[in-house]
Amino acid sequence: MTFADMLLDPASPMAERPAQVLSLIKDLAHRMHHIINDLLNSMTIESGKVKLNLRLLDLGQLGALLVAISSVRAEQKGQTLTSHIEQNCIVEGDEERLKEIIDNLISNAIKYSPHGKAIDVRIYHREKWVVFEVRDEGQGFSQDEKEKLFKKFQRLTAKPTGGESSTGLGLAIVKQLVEMHGGRVWAESEGPGRGSTFAFELAQAEVE
Protein backbone atom coordinates (compact mmCIF):
# COMPACT_ATOMS: atom_id res chain seq x y z
CA MET A 1 0.00 0.00 0.00
CA THR A 2 1.40 3.36 -0.99
CA PHE A 3 1.38 6.46 1.23
CA ALA A 4 -1.42 7.93 -0.92
CA ASP A 5 -3.49 4.73 -0.52
CA MET A 6 -3.10 4.95 3.25
CA LEU A 7 -4.40 8.52 3.25
CA LEU A 8 -7.45 7.57 1.16
CA ASP A 9 -8.30 4.41 3.11
CA PRO A 10 -10.89 5.29 5.84
CA ALA A 11 -9.73 2.28 7.86
CA SER A 12 -6.11 3.43 7.88
CA PRO A 13 -4.76 4.87 11.15
CA MET A 14 -3.44 7.77 9.09
CA ALA A 15 -6.98 8.86 8.25
CA GLU A 16 -7.68 9.39 11.94
CA ARG A 17 -4.76 11.81 12.42
CA PRO A 18 -5.11 14.54 9.74
CA ALA A 19 -2.93 17.05 11.63
CA GLN A 20 -0.05 14.58 11.84
CA VAL A 21 -0.48 13.66 8.18
CA LEU A 22 -0.37 17.32 7.09
CA SER A 23 2.71 17.90 9.24
CA LEU A 24 4.42 14.88 7.64
CA ILE A 25 3.54 16.05 4.14
CA LYS A 26 4.87 19.53 4.92
CA ASP A 27 8.11 18.07 6.26
CA LEU A 28 8.59 15.82 3.23
CA ALA A 29 7.90 18.72 0.85
CA HIS A 30 10.41 20.92 2.70
CA ARG A 31 13.08 18.22 2.51
CA MET A 32 12.47 17.67 -1.20
CA HIS A 33 12.58 21.42 -1.88
CA HIS A 34 15.88 21.66 0.02
CA ILE A 35 17.40 18.77 -1.94
CA ILE A 36 16.31 20.15 -5.32
CA ASN A 37 17.60 23.64 -4.48
CA ASP A 38 21.00 22.32 -3.43
CA LEU A 39 21.29 20.15 -6.54
CA LEU A 40 20.39 23.02 -8.86
CA ASN A 41 22.70 25.40 -7.02
CA SER A 42 25.64 23.01 -7.26
CA MET A 43 25.02 22.28 -10.93
CA THR A 44 24.76 25.99 -11.75
CA ILE A 45 28.04 26.77 -9.98
CA GLU A 46 29.84 23.89 -11.71
CA SER A 47 28.56 25.01 -15.11
CA GLY A 48 30.33 28.33 -14.67
CA LYS A 49 27.09 30.27 -15.10
CA VAL A 50 27.24 31.91 -11.68
CA LYS A 51 28.43 35.51 -11.94
CA LEU A 52 29.42 37.24 -8.74
CA ASN A 53 28.10 40.73 -8.10
CA LEU A 54 31.18 42.00 -6.31
CA ARG A 55 31.22 45.05 -4.07
CA LEU A 56 32.78 46.12 -0.78
CA LEU A 57 31.00 44.53 2.18
CA ASP A 58 31.50 44.27 5.92
CA LEU A 59 31.63 40.53 6.58
CA GLY A 60 31.12 41.25 10.28
CA GLN A 61 27.77 42.91 9.64
CA LEU A 62 26.63 40.03 7.43
CA GLY A 63 27.74 37.57 10.09
CA ALA A 64 25.91 39.43 12.85
CA LEU A 65 22.72 39.42 10.78
CA LEU A 66 22.90 35.67 10.15
CA VAL A 67 23.67 34.97 13.81
CA ALA A 68 20.56 36.91 14.84
CA ILE A 69 18.40 35.02 12.34
CA SER A 70 19.89 31.63 13.28
CA SER A 71 19.49 32.17 17.02
CA VAL A 72 15.83 31.16 16.78
CA ARG A 73 16.75 27.72 15.44
CA ALA A 74 19.47 27.33 18.06
CA GLU A 75 17.04 28.21 20.86
CA GLN A 76 14.63 25.56 19.61
CA LYS A 77 17.33 22.99 20.35
CA GLY A 78 18.35 24.58 23.65
CA GLN A 79 21.67 25.67 22.16
CA THR A 80 23.57 28.85 22.97
CA LEU A 81 24.66 30.81 19.88
CA THR A 82 27.17 33.58 20.59
CA SER A 83 29.39 35.78 18.43
CA HIS A 84 32.66 37.70 18.70
CA ILE A 85 33.04 40.05 15.76
CA GLU A 86 35.75 42.61 15.08
CA GLN A 87 34.91 45.88 13.40
CA ASN A 88 35.64 46.82 9.78
CA CYS A 89 36.01 43.31 8.38
CA ILE A 90 35.77 44.63 4.83
CA VAL A 91 35.96 42.25 1.89
CA GLU A 92 35.00 42.34 -1.77
CA GLY A 93 32.21 39.88 -2.35
CA ASP A 94 28.75 38.99 -3.56
CA GLU A 95 26.37 39.74 -0.68
CA GLU A 96 23.84 36.99 -1.42
CA ARG A 97 26.50 34.34 -1.96
CA LEU A 98 28.36 35.31 1.22
CA LYS A 99 25.10 35.10 3.14
CA GLU A 100 24.62 31.63 1.67
CA ILE A 101 28.10 30.57 2.82
CA ILE A 102 27.65 31.92 6.35
CA ASP A 103 24.13 30.56 6.73
CA ASN A 104 25.26 27.13 5.61
CA LEU A 105 28.10 26.96 8.13
CA ILE A 106 26.01 28.23 11.06
CA SER A 107 23.11 25.95 10.11
CA ASN A 108 25.44 22.95 10.02
CA ALA A 109 26.73 23.73 13.51
CA ILE A 110 23.14 23.88 14.79
CA LYS A 111 22.09 20.81 12.84
CA TYR A 112 24.89 18.52 14.01
CA SER A 113 25.27 19.77 17.59
CA PRO A 114 23.35 18.03 20.40
CA HIS A 115 20.70 19.85 22.39
CA GLY A 116 22.04 22.24 25.00
CA LYS A 117 25.49 22.77 23.50
CA ALA A 118 27.27 26.04 22.71
CA ILE A 119 28.09 27.44 19.28
CA ASP A 120 30.36 30.44 18.79
CA VAL A 121 30.82 32.52 15.64
CA ARG A 122 34.01 34.58 15.28
CA ILE A 123 34.92 37.08 12.57
CA TYR A 124 38.30 38.74 12.79
CA HIS A 125 41.37 40.05 10.96
CA ARG A 126 44.45 37.92 10.44
CA GLU A 127 47.26 39.62 8.54
CA LYS A 128 45.78 40.45 5.11
CA TRP A 129 42.75 38.22 5.56
CA VAL A 130 39.31 38.38 7.12
CA VAL A 131 38.47 35.08 8.82
CA PHE A 132 35.02 33.68 9.57
CA GLU A 133 34.79 30.66 11.84
CA VAL A 134 32.07 28.80 13.69
CA ARG A 135 33.02 26.59 16.63
CA ASP A 136 30.70 23.97 18.08
CA GLU A 137 30.64 21.30 20.77
CA GLY A 138 29.11 18.78 18.42
CA GLN A 139 30.05 15.40 17.03
CA GLY A 140 33.41 16.31 15.52
CA PHE A 141 35.12 14.13 12.94
CA SER A 142 38.13 11.91 12.39
CA GLN A 143 41.14 12.73 10.23
CA ASP A 144 39.92 10.20 7.66
CA GLU A 145 36.59 11.99 7.41
CA LYS A 146 38.27 15.38 7.17
CA GLU A 147 39.27 14.58 3.59
CA LYS A 148 35.62 13.98 2.65
CA LEU A 149 33.93 16.96 4.32
CA PHE A 150 33.85 19.30 1.32
CA LYS A 151 33.10 16.64 -1.29
CA LYS A 152 29.63 15.80 -2.58
CA PHE A 153 27.43 13.04 -1.20
CA GLN A 154 29.93 11.69 1.28
CA ARG A 155 28.76 9.29 4.01
CA LEU A 156 30.02 10.61 7.34
CA THR A 157 29.57 9.46 10.91
CA ALA A 158 27.88 12.66 12.14
CA LYS A 159 24.09 12.80 11.81
CA PRO A 160 21.61 15.65 12.37
CA THR A 161 20.55 15.70 16.01
CA GLY A 162 17.02 17.05 15.55
CA GLY A 163 15.74 15.13 12.54
CA GLU A 164 16.85 17.84 10.11
CA SER A 165 17.36 17.01 6.45
CA SER A 166 20.80 16.76 4.86
CA THR A 167 21.55 16.70 1.14
CA GLY A 168 25.28 16.05 1.35
CA LEU A 169 25.88 19.11 -0.82
CA GLY A 170 26.02 22.05 1.58
CA LEU A 171 29.73 22.04 2.37
CA ALA A 172 30.64 21.32 -1.26
CA ILE A 173 28.68 24.43 -2.26
CA VAL A 174 30.40 26.44 0.47
CA LYS A 175 33.82 25.40 -0.87
CA GLN A 176 32.85 26.26 -4.44
CA LEU A 177 31.57 29.71 -3.50
CA VAL A 178 34.50 30.57 -1.22
CA GLU A 179 36.98 29.63 -3.94
CA MET A 180 35.04 31.72 -6.47
CA HIS A 181 35.77 34.65 -4.12
CA GLY A 182 39.48 33.80 -4.13
CA GLY A 183 39.33 32.48 -0.58
CA ARG A 184 40.06 29.28 1.30
CA VAL A 185 37.85 27.03 3.45
CA TRP A 186 38.88 24.45 6.05
CA ALA A 187 37.70 22.45 9.05
CA GLU A 188 39.36 21.27 12.26
CA SER A 189 38.44 18.79 14.99
CA GLU A 190 40.29 17.00 17.75
CA GLY A 191 38.30 13.88 16.96
CA PRO A 192 34.83 12.34 17.15
CA GLY A 193 32.76 13.73 20.00
CA ARG A 194 35.10 16.67 20.57
CA GLY A 195 33.44 19.39 18.52
CA SER A 196 34.64 21.09 15.38
CA THR A 197 35.55 24.40 13.77
CA PHE A 198 34.57 25.31 10.22
CA ALA A 199 36.16 28.41 8.74
CA PHE A 200 36.90 30.38 5.63
CA GLU A 201 39.03 33.41 4.84
CA LEU A 202 38.81 36.13 2.22
CA ALA A 203 41.29 38.82 1.32
CA GLN A 204 40.80 42.01 3.27
CA ALA A 205 39.75 44.77 0.90
CA GLU A 206 41.67 48.00 0.68
CA VAL A 207 39.43 50.92 1.59
CA GLU A 208 40.52 54.43 0.68
Kindly report the CATH number assigned to the domain that includes residue 114.
3.30.565.10
174 has pLDDT over 90: yes
Inside any domain, residue 48: no
Q: What's the CA gap between 42 and 177, in Å, rounded?
A: 10
**Predicted local confidence at residue 23, as pLDDT:** 52
**Predicted local confidence at residue 176, as pLDDT:** 93
**Are residues 85 and 175 part of one domain?**
yes
Inside any domain, residue 208: no
Question: Residue 157, SS3?
Answer: coil
**Which residue type, as a one-letter code, is found at position 25?**
I
Q: What's the CA gap between 137 and 115, in Å, rounded?
A: 10
Number of domains in the chain: 2
pTM given for the model: 0.78
**Predicted local confidence at residue 183, as pLDDT:** 98
* Structure confidence at residue 156 as a pLDDT band (50, 70, 90): confident
Average pLDDT of every residue of the chain = 85
Please name which of 107, 63, 57 lies closest in space to residue 85, comparing C-alpha atoms: 63
Residue pLDDT, tens place only, 36-93 = 565 556 666 666 667 899 999 999 999 999 999 999 999 999 999 999 999 999 999 9
Inside any domain, residue 47: no
Cβ atoms 69, 133 nearer than 8 A: no
**Are residues 103 and 199 part of one domain?**
yes
* Helix residue ranges per DSSP H, 12-114: 18-46, 59-76, 95-112
Question: Residue 120, SS3?
Answer: strand
DSSP structural state of residue 86: -
Chain centroid to CA 183: 17
Please name which of 50, 100, 26, 29 lies closest in space to residue 18, comparing C-alpha atoms: 26
- Domain span at residue 20 reads 3-42
Inside any domain, residue 23: yes
**Are residues 61 and 33 part of one domain?**
no
**Predicted local confidence at residue 109, as pLDDT:** 96
Looking at the chain, the whole-number percentage of residues with pLDDT higher than 90 is: 62
Residue pLDDT, tens place only, 82-119 = 999 999 999 999 999 999 999 999 999 999 999 999 99
Question: Residue 93, SS3?
Answer: strand
Q: Give, in order, the Cα–Cα distances in Å from 87 to each of 55, 66, 161.
A: 18, 16, 34
Once rounded to an integer, what is the mean pLDDT over residues 178-194? 96
Q: What's the CA gap between 175 and 186, in Å, rounded?
A: 9
133 has pLDDT over 60: yes
Once rounded to an integer, what is the mean pLDDT over residues 176-191? 96
| Angle between the N-to-C axes of helices 170-180 and 18-46, in degrees from 0 to 180, rounded to the nearest 10 | 30
Once rounded to an integer, what is the mean pLDDT over residues 109-130? 97
**Are residues 111 and 75 part of one domain?**
yes
182 has pLDDT over 50: yes
Q: Give, in order, the Cα–Cα distances in Å from 204 to each of 60, 66, 92, 124.
A: 12, 20, 8, 10
1-15, 61-75, 135-149, 179-193: range with lowest mean pLDDT: 1-15
